[in-house]
Amino acid sequence: MSDMTARCTSCGECVRPCAFLQQHGTPAAIAKRGSNPDNLLTAYGCSLCGLCDVVCPEQLSPSSQFLAMRQQATAQGLVDLKPYKPWLTYERLGGSVLFRRDQIPANCRTVFFPGCSLPGTRPAATKELFRRLQHHDRSIGLVLDCCGKISHDLGLEKQFNTIFNRLQQRLKTYGITRVLTACPGCSKILKKHGQDIEVHSVYELLAEQPTSVPEVTLGTVSVHDPCPARFDLAQHKAVRKLIKLTGYRIEELPSSGTVTRCCGQGGIVEGCVPGTVRKEATLIGGEAAERPLVSSCAGCCETLSSVTPTAHVADLLTGTGSFSDKPAASFRRWFNRLLLRFSRLP
Ligand code: SF4
Ligand code: SF4
């Protein structure tokens, strides 16, 4: 926090687009309040979306400060984890042997790692993406597991390290050097913590495969770039290319690309500030001005579908979903993941 107190000029650039900073003051003002418990706990109102990092003229990273405050708070036992129990249970169960799967073909160096949300909400699309990858290269494998992002974002460092190290060790044992992700959250975690692992979004590889643009235009959509992927320019480009290949025109949102907004689910803020998801989703829906949205994050799709018709890029690409689909119920997601875990795959 001392770096922030010394270098932040309190210019207010990051405060303007952020409800959290509007409530608590500039990153320097928060840092100056020190490490007292009340101040550390305010960090749970920050979605860790990183928009402040992009707009800061001093190239500071307030989002890193707020993650460090969360880590300090949990290390000191200050955090009541009860409100976060549903998320932590989801992570623990989803990473158990019941839901883990490794399908590693001969000479496999690359695996598809779809994460938890896509298999839970879109098992058919997940299978189809894997089928297309296998069609492209038979040596591409599949790993179903949890990346530990929930523990990471809650500041539970020890718990996160246990989950992530288990995954990393398995990849290492198989000799995997490249991971293709479908979830921007997994992508961010793997890029930040994966040692010697090359990480790309699956959409980059799929966008490279030759396909022609359909002659009939199906309509105009806007793209919501998920906040964990705000710096992943290759993913932004690939997702847009794939959307166009499925027959849609794109009209960009004012908040897109590196300055995209969080859909409200980031940092599990909803656990301590109920209503955040609705508020943030409404802001993005307002920018879309009734145009349908397309995103590459299943979590964002669920949130945004409450304010405007929203599809996942995998829905359009594989023809397995549409803008009018309702988010899958919780029990259905577990069932979908189990089905995928035990189903026959190419
Ligand atoms: S990470 Fe997002 S929510 Fe947190 S302070 Fe920065 S802009 Fe605000
Ligand atoms: S944009 Fe940077 S310098 Fe300005 S208030 Fe935010 S952190 Fe401080």
Nearest to 163 by CA among 189, 140, 187: 189
Contact 49 CB / ligand 1 (< 6 Å): yes
Residue among 8, 46, 272 to mutate when testing ligand 1 (max atoms within 8 A of CB): 46
Domain boundary among 75, 103, 138: 75
Report the alpha-carbon distance of residue 147 to residue 95 in Å, rounded. Answer: 8
162: in domain: yes
223: in domain: yes
Return the amino acid letter for 168. Answer: Q
Q: Assess whether 163 and 119 both reside in one domain.
A: yes
Please say whether the beta carbons of 126 and 321 come within 8 A: no
Task: State the pLDDT at residue 103.
Answer: 95
Residue among 16, 51, 54 to mutate when testing ligand 1 (max atoms within 8 A of CB): 51
> Residue with structure tokens 């460092």?
157
Report the alpha-carbon distance of residue 333 to residue 119 in Å, rounded. Answer: 8
Q: Assess whether 101 and 175 both reside in one domain.
A: yes
Sequence-separated (6 or more) residues with CB below 8 Å from residue 345: 103, 127, 130, 131, 142
Mean per-residue pLDDT over the chain, rounded: 94
- Ligand 2 centroid–CA 2 distance in Å is 14
Query: In the beta sheet, which residues pair with residue 45?
Result: none
- Ligand 1 centroid–CA 4 distance in Å is 14
Q: Assess whether 194 and 218 both reside in one domain.
A: no
148: in domain: yes
Report the alpha-carbon distance of residue 233 to residue 85 in Å, rounded. Answer: 34
Report the alpha-carbon distance of residue 202 to residue 72 in Å, rounded. Answer: 35
Residue 36: exposure state from Cβ atoms within 10 A (0-12, 13-18, ≥19): exposed
Q: Assess whether 201 and 107 both reside in one domain.
A: yes
**Residue 170 belongs to domain with CATH number:** 3.40.50
Tell me the two tokens of residue 96. 């158990």
Domain ranges, residue 225 = 208-327
Tell me the mean pLDDT in the region 209-226.
82
Confidence band of 218 (pLDDT split at 50, 70, 90): confident
Summarize pLDDT for 241-281 with one digit per residue, the tens: 999 999 999 999 999 999 999 999 999 999 888 999 999 99
Domain boundary among 28, 50, 75: 75
Q: Assess whether 323 and 337 both reside in one domain.
A: no
> Residue with structure tokens 């794109």?
250
Nearest to 335 by CA among 99, 97, 90, 149: 99
Confidence band of 114 (pLDDT split at 50, 70, 90): very high
Please say whether the beta carbons of 314 and 118 come within 8 A: yes
DSSP 297-312: -HHHHHHHTTTS-EEE
46: in domain: yes
Return the amino acid letter for 335. Answer: F
81: in domain: no
Q: Assess whether 197 and 335 both reside in one domain.
A: yes
3 state SS of 345: coil
- Ligand 1 centroid–CA 324 distance in Å is 31
Tell me the two tokens of residue 40. 């550390």
Please say whether the beta carbons of 49 and 63 come within 8 A: yes
Summarize pLDDT for 157-169 with one digit per residue, the tens: 999 999 999 999 9
80: in domain: no
Task: From residue 74, give the alpha-carbon distance in Å to each of 24, 66, 158, 219, 331.
Answer: 20, 12, 10, 48, 30
- Ligand 2 centroid–CA 235 distance in Å is 27
pLDDT at 212 exceeding the cut of 80: no
pLDDT at 223 exceeding the cut of 80: yes
Question: Which of the residue ranges 18-22, 60-64, 231-235, 320-324 would you say has the lowest mean pLDDT?
Answer: 320-324
Q: Assess whether 92 and 25 both reside in one domain.
A: no
Task: State the pLDDT at residue 261.
Answer: 96
Tell me the mean pLDDT in the region 94-99.
93
Report the alpha-carbon distance of residue 26 to residue 4 in Å, rounded. Answer: 10
More confident residue, 217 or 252: 252
Cβ burial 166-194 (10 Å sphere, 16+ → b, else e): ebbebbeeeebeebbbbbbbbbbbbbebb
Q: Assess whether 286 and 150 both reside in one domain.
A: no
Percent of the chain residues topping a pLDDT of 70: 97
Summarize pLDDT for 24-41 with one digit per residue, the tens: 999 999 999 999 999 999
7: in domain: yes
Residue 34: exposure state from Cβ atoms within 10 A (0-12, 13-18, ≥19): exposed
Q: Assess whether 212 and 323 both reside in one domain.
A: yes
Sequence-separated (6 or more) residues with CB below 8 Å from residue 84: 150, 154, 268, 271
pLDDT at 207 exceeding the cut of 70: yes
Q: Assess whether 219 and 306 both reside in one domain.
A: yes
Task: State the pLDDT at residue 214.
Answer: 64
Largest CA distance in the chain: 61
105: in domain: yes
Confidence band of 215 (pLDDT split at 50, 70, 90): low
Task: State the pLDDT at residue 213.
Answer: 61
Q: How many domains does the chain have?
A: 3
Summarize pLDDT for 129-156 with one digit per residue, the tens: 999 999 989 999 999 999 999 999 999 9
